[in-house]
Every structure is written in structure tokens, then in C-alpha cells.
């Protein structure tokens, strides 16, 4: 709940409370405690005027701006910036020199993504030194940032997808170079800042963008030539200081408001206490099937998606989950689609599915998120509309979408080589480990290997787990807390074997994920009143360390108010 912010509010207080000339003067007085990592010959990316633009409530959803690799390379320049919106919420964003905000980055398997980023946010005091070896600056400040390439199976080495030791402080410039594996599954990934203690604020400020590995049409031909919609769900601090509803709140004031492609769906409360929301608008043609690529790029908000036509749930044909085409890694190709009428989206989950447009006789067509029971100590994630679907043509005069990113490619031949995780289910298991989510409310959150002491995360901690490259491990992740937690693993994917003890603790298992390859899974709350001695809700999974990634990376709860308060640990994969 809101009191969780207490332990790290100091990181943000200066930036939130001071503005304009005061903040500028403050920055000048504390530059001596920051260092610059700008390499010789690297030109810093200059700040962009009027950063982090936002749309009005009820706007039409447009495709985010997009950048595409050419000849195997995508090179991008980012200025990381901050501002405030019209109601005083702090915003963050990655801006390109020509003014694109958090563009979708399109690459192909085997491509290289080069990013030069300059942190152009105001400087702030040092909060914590990082022990060597370091990647970038050596001390975390209240304005440090970096970039995590969520879900990608790329290297955690310095200059790659490193969040354990990568820091970019105010005024510093850093260069990333990510080599995507030749067998990286096509699908939807995303990128965002990932500095421990500051991650929640950065995502609430909106500093996230989509990343697409192209080629889905040759792994799942059902999407061939379809119009695709990149739908980025974010959350933001609630407006007007409304009081949050309880953990199982139905229709009530949410813990965080949400937005879709930067269109706010803010909560409002009328004189009678009713909570209302203004949905965005999405266009479809009559009879059209679209390919929706949805990322839950929120900091704290769990989503439970349904497409509703006049109150009737519609079938969504699931193509991919967490950037892996479903049923695609073992067996006959292409994999079969999974029909569902709702899909549970934990924070940072992604789902890609086919949706058929409503008939012209349908009066109300919507994408909604349903109420999520997050437990007696959980947050309020109530039912609310996300957007209304409006039937409309796409003549060029509509200027509805940029044509360069309007559709996926046409099928040109089945690509059966992109089976990165093939054979995982039959591989020998090197180790079995049990981990537990636990809490000491309101400010201490843990993820612990059973048998080890509970330790809050610190970037200087030694690894909690040491695994060997080339092996497969079985992990059992349990939740012994009275609220939901979201298990995310960097650098690799895992195969879901089972969701155990969910219903006895008041939660149905998530649909469509058993047997699939994810980088993210939800473990719901333990009902300690009904089951004081357990059993605990748990997920069993196979961890795939057979890829090339070695080094230190992390696993954690991706409700970022939990991660910022300690619910993260380091794993070391040795050669």
C-alpha cells in the first residue's frame, strides 16, 4: 500500500518538491558528488524540448513511433529526461533527438541493437556506493538510471543487459550494444530503467517502450499480413489523492491509475462515491481480424484482460506469451493457438493474440481489465475499461496510423530454427530449489532460497544462487505472504510445469500458461486464515541455463514497490 514508499521517498523528494530555478541551483551545488562516465569521443545526447508528451483522456489509440533495424543493426540515441504533467505527476521518458518518445524498437533475430543514452535529468545526492566491478558510474544517486531489455536472452555483461552494476548518473553518457541470439524467439519484449530503489518511480513516470523481434509470421502463419497493434499499458500515480480501496476492491479507487499508449484512464469519484473511468478509443474495420501485442509495462498493476461485446466475453486466440510463440518449442510446427476468453497479465507480462472486430450491431465493444483479488494486504486492482472499439475505415485521410508500422510481414516459409528452448522438458535436472516470497510489513520484502537467511537486496550482495551454464534446474516458487507477488527472471525463460495450491487459497490458476515458456509468472497470496499451516500457493518451473548467458543477473518480484523494498536477489551463472 502507499506506506511502502516511506523507505525510499527520500530518493525522490528533491525532484518532486523543488522545480524550476530552485532545482537548477540545487543541481549546481551537488555536482561534486556525481561522476561522469562519458567516454572519450562519445558525443552526449542533448536534451529535447518539451519531453514526455501525453494525450488527453478519451483519445484515439495510435501506434507508438517505431524504429527499425537495417542490415542487421539498429542504432538509437536517447536523452533520458523528466518533467511534470498538468496535475503535478513526475514524468520520465527516453526521447530521440528528433522528438520520438519511447519508440518501439524493431530488430530481427541475430541483429545488434546499439543505444547511446545520456541522463539529462537533474543531479541529486549520492545514496549508495556500488562496489567494484562497476559498469558506468560508481555510486547510485537519486537520479541514476540505466536500461533493462526485458525478456531478451541477451548478455548481462557490461554494455549489455546489465542491471546489477550499471549506473548512468546525471550528465553521464553510456553506450549499450546488445547482440540478439540468432534463435531469439520473435515476439514482444520491452525496455525500462531498472535501478534498485528507483525503479517504481521511473515506471510510474512512464519511461518504458516496446521492443519487437520481428518474424512472427514465419513461426505462426496465422498472423501473416495482419494489422498489428502495439498496446503499451502503463500505470501512474492516482489523481486527486483519492483513498485506495482494499486488496479485493471490486469497483473502487485503484492503487495506481493506468494508461494505454500514454492515454490516461484516470479514476474519478463523484459526489455519491462512485468511481468512474474514461476509456480510450481503438479503431477497427468491419470484419477485420487484428493482431494485438499487449505489454503490461506497469510498475504495480496486475491486469485481467477480457474483450467484451455487449457484455459477452469474446474469444482471444493467443499467439505468444512473454515473446515466445505458444506451443512452438517442441512438437509439430507451427504451434497451435490457444483460445481464451480472459488472460491474466502479471506486471511485466506480455500477451499477443488475435481479435475479430465486433459486428456493426454491437453497441458496446471494449477491452477491460477485471477486478484482481490481490490478497488482504494487497493493492486495489479493480475492474475498469481500457478502451472502446469503434468501427472505422482506414483511408489515408484518416491519418490513423503510420504506415511504416501498420502490419506484420507476409508469410514466406515456416522457420523451424527458432526453437531456443527445444527439449527443455526432457533435459536432466541438475538441482531442485525452493524459493519463498515473504514480507515484514510495511517495508521489508524478501525472496529467499529456503534454507538461507532472509536478506534484503543490495547491489553489493553476493549471489544467492550459483548455477552452471548448460544445466537445467527445477525451481519451486512459493508465496507465504498475504498478497500476490510476480516472479520475474532476467536473461532466460522458464517452462511452467504446474500452478499448485491456488484454488485452496482462493485463486484460480492463470489460463493458458501451463507448459509454456515465460520470463514472468504470478504467485497469488497465501490465505493464512483458512490454511494456517499451508499448503502455500506455488509455481513449479524448469529453468533453462543452456544458453550462452553467463555472469551475474537477477530475479525478483516485478511489483516494483516490492522490488524497491528488497524483494530481489542475484544469481551467478558460471561457464
CATH class of the 424-574 domain in this structure: mainly beta
- What CATH number has the domain spanning 2-207? 2.60.40.420
The candidate with the shortest Cα–Cα distance to 105, out of 62, 75, 145, 61, is 75
Q: Which residues contact 261 (CB under 8 A, 6 or more apart)?
A: 55, 61, 62, 64, 230, 231, 232, 280
Evaluate whether 162 touches 570 at the Cβ level (below 8 Å). Answer: no
CA distance 376 to 530: 13
Of the candidates 205, 208, 213, 196, the one whose C-alpha atom is nearest the C-alpha of residue 297 is: 208
pLDDT for res 239: 75
Per-residue cell: 532: 494456517
Nearest to 214 by CA among 178, 179, 181, 184: 184
Could you tell me the fold of the domain covering 221-405?
Immunoglobulin-like (2.60.40)
* pLDDT < 50: residue spans in the chain: 1-36, 397-398, 402
| Helix (H/G/I), strand (E/B), else coil: 409 | coil
Counted residue by residue, the chain has a size of 575
SS3 readout for 224-249: CCCEEEEEEEEEEECHHHCCCCCCCC
Cβ-contact 508, 333 below 8 angstroms: no
What is residue 377's predicted lDDT score, i.e. its pLDDT? 95
- What per-residue confidence (pLDDT) applies to 20? 38
Provide the 8-state DSSP code for 11. Answer: H
pLDDT for the residue numbered 56: 96
Q: How many Cβ atoms are within 10 Å of 398's Cβ, its own excluded?
A: 11
Helices (H), 263-346: none
Take residue 441 and report the three cell numbers written for it: 510489513
Q: Which residue has the cell 516496446?
A: 210
**Cβ atoms within 10 Å, residue 227:** 18
What is residue 14's predicted lDDT score, i.e. its pLDDT?
Answer: 34
Within 13 Å and on the Cβ side, how many CA atoms surround 226? 27
Determine the pLDDT at residue 166.
97
Cα dihedral 89/90/96/100 (nearest 10): -10
Tally Cβ neighbours within 10 Å of residue 452: 11
Every domain of the chain with CATH number 2.60.40.420 lies at 2-207, 221-405, 424-574
539 CB contacts (<8 Å, ≥6 apart)?
Answer: 476, 477, 487, 496, 498, 499, 500, 521, 523
pLDDT tens figures, 434-488: 999 999 999 999 999 999 999 999 999 999 999 999 999 999 999 999 999 999 9
Name residue, grid cell 536472452.
Answer: 153
Give residues with Cβ within 8 angstroms of 389, minimum separation 6: 281, 282, 283, 284, 357, 358, 365, 366, 367
Task: Note the pLDDT of residue 247.
Answer: 80
Give the C-alpha separation, 391 to 386, whole Å.
17
Q: 3-state DSSP helix/strand/coil percent for the chain, to nearest 5?
A: 10, 40, 50
d(CA 375, CA 524): 8
**CB atoms inside a 10 Å sphere around CB 546:** 17
Rounded CA separation 326/292 (Å): 15
CA 557 to chain centre: 12
Amino acid at each position: 500500500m502507499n506506506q511502502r514508499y516511506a523507505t525510499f521517498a527520500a530518493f525522490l523528494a528533491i525532484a518532486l518538491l523543488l522545480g524550476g530555478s530552485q532545482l537548477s541551483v540545487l543541481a549546481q551545488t551537488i555536482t561534486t558528488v556525481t561522476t561522469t562516465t562519458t567516454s572519450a569521443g562519445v558525443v552526449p545526447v542533448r536534451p529535447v524540448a518539451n519531453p514526455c508528451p501525453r494525450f488527453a483522456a478519451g483519445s484515439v489509440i495510435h501506434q507508438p513511433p517505431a524504429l527499425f533495424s537495417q542490415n542487421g543493426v539498429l542504432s538509437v540515441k536517447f536523452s533520458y529526461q523528466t518533467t511534470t504533467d498538468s496535475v503535478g505527476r513526475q514524468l520520465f521518458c527516453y526521447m530521440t533527438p528528433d522528438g520520438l518518445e519511447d519508440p518501439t524498437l524493431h530488430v530481427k533475430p541475430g541483429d545488434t541493437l546499439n543505444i547511446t543514452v545520456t541522463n539529462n535529468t537533474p543531479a541529486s545526492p549520492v545514496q549508495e556506493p556500488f562496489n567494484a566491478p562497476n559498469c558506468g558510474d560508481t555510486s547510485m544517486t537519486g537520479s541514476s538510471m540505466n536500461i533493462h531489455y526485458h525478456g531478451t536472452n541477451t548478455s548481462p555483461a557490461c554494455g549489455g543487459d546489465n542491471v546489477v552494476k550499471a549506473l548512468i548518473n546525471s550528465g553521464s553518457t553510456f553506450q549499450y550494444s546488445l547482440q540478439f541470439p540468432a534463435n531469439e524467439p520473435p515476439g514482444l519484449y520491452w525496455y525500462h530503467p531498472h535501478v534498485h530503489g528507483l525503479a517504481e518511480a521511473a515506471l510510474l513516470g512512464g519511461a518504458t517502450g516496446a521492443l519487437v523481434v520481428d518474424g512472427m509470421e514465419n513461426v505462426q502463419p496465422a498472423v501473416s499480413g495482419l494489422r498489428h497493434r502495439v498496446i503499451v499499458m502503463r500505470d501512474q500515480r492516482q489523481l486527486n489523492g483519492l483513498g485506495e480501496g482494499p486488496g479485493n476492491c471490486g469497483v473502487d479507487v485503484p492503487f495506481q491509475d493506468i494508461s494505454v499508449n500514454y492515454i490516461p484512464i484516470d479514476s474519478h469519484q463523484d459526489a455519491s462515491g462512485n468511481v468512474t473511468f474514461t476509456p480510450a478509443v481503438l479503431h477497427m474495420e468491419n470484419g477485420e481480424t487484428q493482431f494485438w501485442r499487449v505489454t503490461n509495462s506497469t510498475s504495480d498493476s496486475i491486469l485481467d484482460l477480457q474483450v467484451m461485446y455487449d457484455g459477452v466475453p469474446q474469444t482471444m486466440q493467443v499467439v505468444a506469451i512473454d515473446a515466445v510463440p505458444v506451443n512452438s518449442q517442441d512438437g509439430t510446427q507451427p504451434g497451435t493457438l490457444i483460445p481464451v476468453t480472459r488472460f491474466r497479465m502479471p506486471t511485466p507480462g506480455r500477451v499477443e493474440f488475435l481479435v475479430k472486430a465486433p459486428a456493426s450491431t454491437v453497441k458496446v465493444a471494449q477491452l477491460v481489465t477485471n477486478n484482481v483479488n490481490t490478497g488482504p494486504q494487497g493493492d486495489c486492482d479493480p475492474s475498469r475499461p481500457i478502451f472502446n472499439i469503434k468501427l472505422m475505415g482506414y483511408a489515408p485521410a484518416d491519418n490513423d496510423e503510420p504506415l511504416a508500422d501498420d502490419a506484420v510481414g507476409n508469410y514466406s516459409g515456416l522457420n523451424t530454427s527458432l526453437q531456443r528452448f527445444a527439449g527443455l522438458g526432457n533435459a536432466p535436472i541438475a538441482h531442485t530449489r525452493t524459493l519463498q516470497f515473504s514480507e515484514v510489513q510495511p517495508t521489508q520484502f524478501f525472496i529467499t532460497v529456503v534454507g538461507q537467511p532472509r536478506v534484503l537486496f543490495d547491489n553489493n550482495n553476493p549471489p544467492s544462487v550459483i548455477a552452471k551454464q548448460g544445466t537445467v534446474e527445477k525451481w519451486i516458487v512459493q508465496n507465504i505472504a498475504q498478497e500476490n507477488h510476480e516472479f520475474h527472471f532476467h536473461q532466460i525463460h522458464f517452462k511452467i510445469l504446474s500452478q499448485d495450491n491456488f484454488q485452496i487459497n482462493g485463486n484460480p490458476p492463470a489460463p493458458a500458461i501451463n507448459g509454456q515458456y515465460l520470463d514472468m509468472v504470478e504467485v497469488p497470496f497465501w490465505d493464512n486464515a483458512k490454511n494456517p499451516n499451508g499448503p502455500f500457493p506455488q509455481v513449479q518451473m524448469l529453468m533453462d541455463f543452456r544458453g550462452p548467458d553467463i555472469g551475474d543477473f537477477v530475479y525478483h518480484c516485478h511489483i516494483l514497490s516490492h522490488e524497491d523494498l528488497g524483494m530481489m536477489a542475484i544469481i551467478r551463472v558460471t561457464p
